[in-house]
Amino acid sequence: MEAEKLRREKYKFLPSETEFENWIARKINERRSKLVPFGTKEVGEPDKIAVVIHVIHNGEPYGEGVNITDEQIYSQIEVLNEDYQRKNADTIKTQPEFLNAASKMNIEFVLARQTKDGNPTTGIVRVPGTKTSYGITVSERELLSGFSHWDPNIYLNIWVTNLTSPYIGLAQFPDLDFPGLEDEPNKDNEATDGMVVDYQAFGSSQKVPGLDLQTFYNLGRTSTHEIGHFFGLKHVWGDVTGSAGCAVDDYVSDTPNSSMEYSGVCTPSDHVSCGTNDMFENFLYYTNDECMNIFTADQVVRMQTILESAPRRGSLLNSIGTVYPGEMYFDLAINSIKSPGKVVCNDELNPVVEVKNNGTIPVTDFDIVYNFNNTEQTYTYQGDTIFSGAIIEIQLDQSTIQNGNYKLSVTLSNIPDDTNGSNNQMDHVFAVDDQTDFIPLREQFEAINLNATEWIAINEDNKTGWELTEAPLTSDENISAFINLYNYEDKQQLDWLISPSLDFSEAMEASVFFRASYAKNQNFNDQLRVLGSKDCGVNFDDVLEVFSSSDLSVTASGDFWEPTNQKDWLTHSIDLNEYAGKQNIRLAFLSVNDFGNNLYLDDIEIFATDEDKVVKTAQNSFTLYPNPTDDGLFKLSFNISERQNVVIYIYDQMGRILTMDEYPNTLNQTYYYDLTGYRSGVYFINAKGKDFVRSKKLVISR
């Protein structure tokens, strides 16, 4: 962290810690809001990362001093793979209370197998330096990089040298694709990207007896710890010790809050801070090597997110450096369909496809065949050479489209001897919709079908999707939105129910309430995700709430679920204050099928009021509170059957009109009144709409 502070002082263009954490939180939410595919494989053959070990020695013969042996290097690679894949033998030392949090990454570190130019390599480079030891400043790290450095987009650079005491290791924290950094002069920043480690804290004396390693850092865990930083992890205790440390987090939810670093100790008898037991065996503490043995599930999610999203991280996965030079092959893949988003809000379609070269041979010629609206077109690529591991964006031809649901199918073709055809094709289902509305808003789905409402249903697999059905609530005639998760054809399918584009610009605060009916079916775990979009539905980056089957359930049933009365419904609410004052907001209710049971949604109501301030009242009426009022301040909360203009009169006991206010588009708003200048007594509040008139008494009692 000291080295990171020095780097940020030199490179002023780097985002702040807050900006970085906001960015990665958004990326993690994006990752969790989609099921597949992730950029990192969670099962099957592990993703590989090519490692280059730069031994910066003092001119010693091989095997002496800093010029460590190949065997010492091999032992370190073996430790990294065991620790990250949780194959380390000391997992049995994990405290029982933390076993459920333990996790692993499906990655494999390999010494580089070929150079960027395609020549074979051992992945070990030995270069004499110019100093007997090196510090942690940026200039010292640039000096090391100047001796030996390989492309950090392809290789994980590890410099092994004699670090000036008391330091034994450091790693460069990941950068991010933050807007505005594209043209910054950060090549020097790239040059230092990687890890620097002291030669006496590198490798394992357990695997290679007799190594000259530091007593407490002799099992290779310094590198495990530092690469955790390279993948975006922070120290568990948040780098602030003592009582103040309890207010500083590592931004990982399943590591207990901690205020101790546990430097130089192992299995301490007292390992409690911030009111809970500390996970002192976590790789991101300062404990001795023999004490470390665990990454948690949320730490793994954070590292996976960095590998998928951060510059010079995702390109490491299965790069050309992980392949022996004799293994030359073509493998061009559609990495993603960047555009359109989930919803297009105008009549212009601008398809953008992201293509990645997963092979070892540079690619210059191929075609993209794309089918949209039953029309097939071919785009012939004539751009720059796509080298191994590179990702490019390709803009396809624009089209004019009308409101409706569409599928864009994209296929790569004319690739000679492509070894993996399974990644050459991708479909994207989306909607074009220019319907707009504003809040407050109420949707009760009392229509013949969803097309008769302003809501959009997007059916990813073109099979079961959202529809309207009879679902008794307070009356048998009630209609609700419904998805048949009980008889769904395939597992883990996504189905979208999306609001019109909403204007929140007049609101100072906002919230949404809705009813849901669902019965949990054994251990099947259907899911309802409520997502938000700030760009009219192009991206649903905001994960507002994730409801499990247990969260939704009103009862347990293995039968086809149908509600019969009001007790079969639960009301849920979500804070929407982050959207107050903004336009082009959409909400999405996304179901994820696990063969559980049917899900019903109804009475979706968005308030221009904070979640905990919403007051419910009878329909076509209002609630007056506080009443009596001792200072003349009070509120009127309305519940109108539909939006309409409401006129509110306040009379005194003599029948004189004191105030008259007209409020357009009243639905469920709360209006604030101030009668602080009026004397104690009884007043009359009269509210009149197009189809109702209501009156209430107000008492001012000073």
CATH value at residue 631:
2.60.40.3080
Question: Residues 384, 448: one domain?
Answer: no
Phi and psi torsions of 672, nearest 5°:
-105, 135
Is 249 within a domain? no
Is 669 within a domain? yes
Is 324 within a domain? no
| Among candidate residues 613, 634, 662, the one where a domain is terminated | 613
Burial class (CB in 10 A: 0-12, 13-18, 19+), 428: buried
CB atoms within 10 A of CB 180: 8
Strands 555-556 and 511-520: parallel
Q: How much is the CA Rg of the chain, to the nearest whole Å?
A: 31
Is 260 within a domain? no
Question: Tokens standing for 479?
Answer: 């209609």
Phi and psi torsions of 200, nearest 5°:
-95, 5
Question: Residues 304, 344: one domain?
Answer: no
Whether residue 128 has a cis bond before it, omega within 30° of 0? no
Is 239 within a domain? no
Spatial separation of the C-alpha atoms in residues 178 and 647, rounded to whole Å = 49
| Among candidate residues 584, 613, 642, the one where a domain is terminated | 613
Query: Tell me, what DSSP letter sits at residue 89?
Result: G
Spatial separation of the C-alpha atoms in residues 700 and 650, rounded to whole Å = 13
Spatial separation of the C-alpha atoms in residues 530 and 542, rounded to whole Å = 9
Closest by CA position to 260, among listed 228, 232, 224, 287: 287
Question: Tokens standing for 148?
Answer: 């030996």
Is 326 within a domain? no
Is 257 within a domain? no
Question: Residues 344, 378: one domain?
Answer: yes
Residue 38: CATH number of its domain: 3.40.390.10
Spatial separation of the C-alpha atoms in residues 57 and 72, rounded to whole Å = 15
Q: Which residues pair with 695 in a beta bridge?
A: 686
Question: Tokens standing for 101?
Answer: 């949090």
User: DSSP 3-state assignment of 503?
Assistant: strand
- Angle, helices 17-32 vs 297-309, to 10°: value is 100
Residue 379: CATH number of its domain: 2.60.40.10
Question: Residues 630, 509: one domain?
Answer: no
- Angle, helices 2-10 vs 138-147, to 10°: value is 90
Is 595 within a domain? yes
Domain that holds residue 419: 334-432
Closest by CA position to 593, among listed 516, 487, 499: 487
| Among candidate residues 417, 432, 447, the one where a domain is terminated | 432
Would you say the C-alpha torsion 668, 670, 675, 680 has a positive or negative sign? positive
Query: Tell me, what DSSP letter sits at residue 196?
Result: E
- Angle, helices 221-230 vs 70-84, to 10°: value is 60
Question: Tokens standing for 693?
Answer: 């008139």
Question: Tokens standing for 5?
Answer: 């502070």
Question: Residues 96, 160: one domain?
Answer: yes
User: DSSP 3-state assignment of 263?
Assistant: coil
Q: Which residue has the tokens 């307070």?
A: 474
Report the first-to-last Cα separation within the chain, whole angstroms. Answer: 60
Dihedral, 104, 106, 112, 116 alpha carbons, nearest 10: -130
Question: Residues 664, 588: one domain?
Answer: no
Spatial separation of the C-alpha atoms in residues 505 and 238, rounded to whole Å = 38
Q: Residue ranges of the chain with pLDDT lower than 50? A: 36-37, 179-188
CA 447 to chain CA centroid, nearest Å: 35
- The pLDDT tens digits of the residues spanning 564-602 come to 999 999 999 999 999 999 999 999 999 988 889 999 999
User: DSSP 3-state assignment of 9?
Assistant: helix
Number of domains in the chain: 4
pLDDT at 26: 83
Question: Tokens standing for 135?
Answer: 């510090």
Compute the C-alpha angle 451/431/602, nearest 5°: 45
Verify whether residue 226 is a known catalytic residue. yes
Question: Residues 347, 458: one domain?
Answer: no
Closest by CA position to 594, among listed 546, 548, 525, 529: 525
Would you say the C-alpha torsion 198, 202, 208, 213 has a positive or negative sign? positive
CA distances from 239 to 246, 404, 581, 634 (A): 10, 52, 37, 48
Question: Residues 122, 215: one domain?
Answer: yes
CB atoms within 10 A of CB 175: 21
Question: Residues 34, 139: one domain?
Answer: yes
pTM above 0.85?
Answer: no
Question: Residues 556, 656: one domain?
Answer: no
Query: Is 353:368 a contact under the CB 8 Å cutoff?
Result: yes
Closest by CA position to 587, among listed 517, 480, 500, 516: 500
Question: Residues 360, 311: one domain?
Answer: no
pLDDT at 183: 44
Residue 462: CATH number of its domain: 2.60.120.200
User: DSSP 3-state assignment of 587?
Assistant: strand
Question: Tokens standing for 294?
Answer: 């665990």
Spatial separation of the C-alpha atoms in residues 234 and 105, rounded to whole Å = 17
Question: Residues 192, 148: one domain?
Answer: yes
Q: Which among 140, 226, 281, 443 is annotated as catalytic?
A: 226
Spatial separation of the C-alpha atoms in residues 348 and 432, rounded to whole Å = 9
Query: Is 176:305 a contact under the CB 8 Å cutoff?
Result: no
Query: Tell me, what DSSP letter sits at residue 46?
Result: P
Spatial separation of the C-alpha atoms in residues 260 and 272, rounded to whole Å = 9
CB atoms within 10 A of CB 379: 17
